[in-house]
Amino acid sequence: MNTPENSNTASPSDRAGVGVDWEARYRAGDTPWEKGAPHPAVVAWLRQNPLPGRVLVPGCGAGHDVREISRHPVSEAVGVDIAHSAITRARSYPAVGREIYVLGDFLTGDARGLGKFDALVEHTCFCAIYPTRRADYAREAAEALRSGGLLVGVFYGNPDNPEPDSPPFESPAEVVKEFFARDFEVIEETAPVPTYPGREGREYLMVLRRR
């Protein structure tokens, strides 16, 4: 597999830092992360914790989490993804509220032109990027959020991946806290969480507040 250090491809998907052509994978139907529904932990958390204002979802894929957020009284839910086919698929679903899908690379600042957000919901993006790009994710999350804004993340602590050099990458809680420590404070950490079949006991939910 190509890594950021040795990749010779010019695919814009490689900017995500994984050496994976996400567009090609969508076109080939090689999308095991696509479950056809929002993450159960996101659904459960939103039932108890409404998110007001504008909400950003980086690496939104087909937009299931975006639409779930949009069912709640938010002013706007914005999904960003680097793969054109993912955005096309997300836009193909009937709107359930005020959701918007934007083609762009979150890690290189493409969300900055969208204005400040009150919350960011993370699911599948942090574990998909190459670990050397995690500082970029933390920087852009801080840049995207207003002071006091929330980052609500479902993190893949132990994906039991047979190919450790390919996504999804392990994201244990102590690692996540280290990357976000400068600009965020942890206000909630929950495990286990409701999840998709086959992921039981491997994920956790963490809520961080922008300082």
The string of pLDDT tens digits covering residues 119-131 is 999 999 999 999 9
The predicted pLDDT at position 160 comes to 86
pLDDT in tens, 45-89: 999 999 989 999 999 999 999 999 999 999 999 999 999 999 999
Q: What is the pLDDT, as a whole number, of residue 19? A: 67
Distances (CA, A) of 134 to 40, 130, 152, 173: 24, 7, 16, 13
Residue 14 DSSP class: G
Give the CATH fold of the 12-210 domain: Rossmann fold (3.40.50)
Evaluate if residue 6 carries a pLDDT over 70. no
What is the signed CA dihedral for 172, 18, 6, 107, rounded to 10 degrees?
-100
Q: How many CB atoms lie within 10 A of CB 116?
A: 15
pTM: 0.90
Mean pLDDT, residues 121-150 taken together: 97
Give 162 or 84, the one with higher predicted confidence. 84
Cβ neighbours of residue 105 closer than 8 Å, sequence gap 6 or more: 12, 15, 16, 82
Which tokens sit at 59?
Answer: 């690496």
- Higher pLDDT among residues 200 and 166, named by residue: 200
Mean pLDDT of the chain: 91
